[in-house]
Amino acid sequence: MKNNLSFRLFLILVYGVAARAEAQSSALAIADSLYQLGDYSNAIQKYEDIHPKDQYVLLQIAKSHKSKGTHNDALKYYEKVIVAHPSSTSIKLDYAKLLMTTRKFKKADSVYSTLVSEYPKNPNFQYKLGLAKKHLKDTTAITYFKKAFKIDSTHQKSCLEVSKYYLKKRNYEMVWETANLGLHSYPENVELIGILGQNFLLRKDYHTALSYFEKLLALHHENEFIHSKLGLCYSQTYAFKKAITHYEEALKYNDQIPARYSMLAYCYQKEEKFDKALENYKAALTLKDLPIEEDLLAIALVYRFQEKWEKAIQYSKLSLKENPNYGRAQYQLAMFADAYYKDPQIKLKYYKEYLKKFGQDKKGKYFNAIIEKRIAQLEKEIEVNTSSN
C-alpha cells in the first residue's frame, strides 16, 4: 500500500511538472506569436507571466520594448541578459546600438571598447567605438575611424569620417586619396562624391568641383546644398544662365539667405537682366543686418549700367553712409558724378574728395592714378573755360 501511494505521488509530481512545462511552452508560443505580429505590449505581458525566465525570454522582452519604443525598459532587460550571459557578443552589440540611440554615449563607449578588445580586427566595432567617442567630443575618435578603414578599405562609413577629418584640416591631398579609395569599392557613394566636390571648392578649383556636383545630380541626389554649390561653380566659371537656374532652385529650399540673393543678382547683372538684378539685390538687403555697403554699391552699379546716374549716385552715398571707409564706393561715386554732372567744378569736387580720404592708401594705387589723371584734365578744362570768359 505504501509503495502504491509513493508511486501515485510520483505520478502526480511528474504530471504536474509536465503540465507546468506544457503551460510554459504554450505561453511562450503565444508570446512569440504576438511578438511576430508586432503586438509588443501584449507580447511583453505574456513573456512576463513566464517563470522562471531564461535568456531567450529576457531577450524577447528587451526586443519587444525596443520595438515599441520604450527604450529605457529595453536597456534594463538587455543588462539582465548580459549579466546572466556575459559572453554573448550579439546581445552586447544590440545593447550598444540601443545605448547610442538613447544618447548614452559613455556606456556605449564602454561596451564598444570591450568588443574592440575582444575583436580587434572587426572594422565595424572600431568604427562604432569611434562614433561613440566622436559624440563624447573625444579627439581620439579619428584613431578608431582610421583603424576601421585600414582593416577594411571598403568600409564606407569609416572612409567618410576619415575624409571629413582631412577636409576639416584642409589636407586636400589626403582627402583626395582617402575618398577615392572608398569610391573604388563603391563608385556611387554620394557622400564621398560630395566631399570631393567640397575639397575642390575650398581650393577654388571651380571647374573640377563642378564635375562632382553634376555627378550628384546625375545620381538623382538633389538638395539645397547641391543646388547652391552648383550655382557657385557655374557663376565662377561664367555659365551665368546655369548659375541662375541653380540659385533659384536653392532658394526654393530656403529663401532666407541674403548672400544667395546677392549671388543671383550678380548673375542676372552679368546676363544684363538689370531689373531682376535689382530685385534680388534689394531682397538681399531686406534680409541683411550689417554689413550691407557692398550690396548698396552693387545696386548702384546696376543703375550705372542702365545709365540712371541719379540712382547710382544715391546708392553710392548710401553705401558710404554704411561704411565711410569703403574706398571703392567713394571711387564709383566720383565716376558716377563725372558722368552725370555737366559742371567740371562739381566733378572735380567729387574726385578731390576721394583723394582726400583715400589718396594715401597704397591698396588704391590703381584708382589714384586714374583719378589724378582725370583731375588734371578737369583742371585744364576749367582753366580754358575761365580764360575764354
Q: List, for residues 338-367, the tens digit of each pLDDT value.
A: 999 999 999 999 999 999 999 887 777 788
pLDDT of 25 reads 63
Termini Cα distance of the chain: 155
Q: Which of 115-119, 204-208, 239-243, 289-293 has the lowest mean pLDDT?
A: 289-293
pLDDT of 51 reads 85
- Other CB atoms within 10 Å distance of the CB of residue 96: 25
| pLDDT of 388 over the 90 cut | no
pLDDT of 8 reads 52
Between CA 97 and CA 106 the distance in angstroms is 12
Between CA 246 and CA 234 the distance in angstroms is 9
Query: Which spans in 37-70 are helix H?
Result: 40-48, 55-68
Q: What is the three-class DSSP state of 380?
A: helix
Between CA 325 and CA 329 the distance in angstroms is 9
pTM for the full predicted model: 0.73
Q: CB within 8 A of 197, min separation 6: which ones?
A: 209, 212, 213, 216, 229
pLDDT of 190 reads 96
Contact between 109 and 85 under an 8 Å Cβ cutoff? The reply is: no
pLDDT of 360 reads 84
